[in-house]
Structure 1
Amino acid sequence: MTDQQDLLYRVESDPAWNPVAAGTARVGLHPDETAPEVIVVSGPCPRCRHETVHAEPLVAYADALTRTGLLARLLLRRATEAGSREVEVICACSAVHPEAGEHKGCGASWVLHVEWGV
């Protein structure tokens, strides 16, 4: 059996990884579920099985906006409504995978469906 650390870095996605990751992923809404700004997905990568963390922003602020400005408040209000998002998670494990170069992780990506406020 191949050591998971020996897996070559390869950018790929396999739909079969989606349900595997859904069964092992830990999903958090930050700062909390009532006013989420970021979805944080952590857990083992379904390809290399190393621990990885991915942050998916729900609200993006332009440099010119302050968090208290009218547009920023509207964006935040929209993001905090009950909703769902398909989150593409990309492995960012800290293991060294051959041929990764400057990249982190093993190159795998998968999709998780995240819902909040329902």
Structure 2
Amino acid sequence: MTGRQDLVYRVESDPGWGTIAAGTARVSLHPDETAPEVIVVSGPCPRCGHETVHAEPLVSYANALGASGLLSRLLLRRAAETGSREVEVICACPAIHPDAGEHKGCGASWVLHVEWGV
């Protein structure tokens, strides 16, 4: 595992980390770009360098209302349109960082701008 395991767990954010992550992150839409329900961001954490994965749901109420419900269909159709979202990614790397307790990752968070359907 590459990265800095010696970094103490600390909840913090830095705008520069978003800039770094924009050049290294892998972003995918699931199940696909024509009907996205979840944005998945993976790549190295810009603070500790360990690989991390973050899933950001685009539609939060569709499953609770049933796939055949009118509101569910409208929410899914809205998510599939051309769109963008500011995604806050929180490091959830598997490395054990000092002072993390029960937390995963190193505590870092950053924001990525994600666009689809353009």
Q: TM-score, normalised by structure 1?
A: 0.95
SS of residue matched to 1:87: strand
Does residue 107 in structure 1 map to residue 107 in structure 2? yes
The CA distance in 2 between the partners of 1:28 and 1:64, in whole Å, is: 24
Does residue 87 in structure 1 map to residue 115 in structure 2? no
The CA distance in 1 between the partners of 2:28 and 2:63, in whole Å, is: 26
Return structure 1 stretches of 4+ with deviation > 6 angstroms.
none
Residue identity matched to 2:101: G
Offset at 1:38?
0.2
Q: Where does residue 71 of structure 2 map in the other structure?
A: 71
Q: Where does residue 4 of structure 2 map in the other structure?
A: 4
The CA distance in 2 between the partners of 1:83 and 1:40, in whole Å, is: 15
Aligned residues: 116
Q: Structure 1 residues 102, 38: CA separation in 2 closer, same or farther (over 3 Å shift)?
A: same
SS of residue matched to 1:23: helix
Q: Structure 1 residues 64, 37: CA separation in 2 closer, same or farther (over 3 Å shift)?
A: closer
The CA distance in 2 between the partners of 1:104 and 1:64, in whole Å, is: 28
SS of residue matched to 1:5: coil
Q: Structure 1 residues 51, 6: CA separation in 2 closer, same or farther (over 3 Å shift)?
A: same
Is the CA contact 2:62–2:75 (under 8 Å) kept in the aligned structure 1?
no
The CA distance in 2 between the partners of 1:62 and 1:102, in whole Å, is: 31
SS of residue matched to 1:68: coil
Offset at 1:67?
1.5
The CA distance in 1 between the partners of 2:83 and 2:96, in whole Å, is: 36
Q: Where does residue 21 of structure 1 map in the other structure?
A: 21
Is the CA contact 1:30–1:36 (under 8 Å) kept in the aligned structure 2?
yes
The CA distance in 2 between the partners of 1:39 and 1:62, in whole Å, is: 16
Q: Where does residue 35 of structure 2 map in the other structure?
A: 35
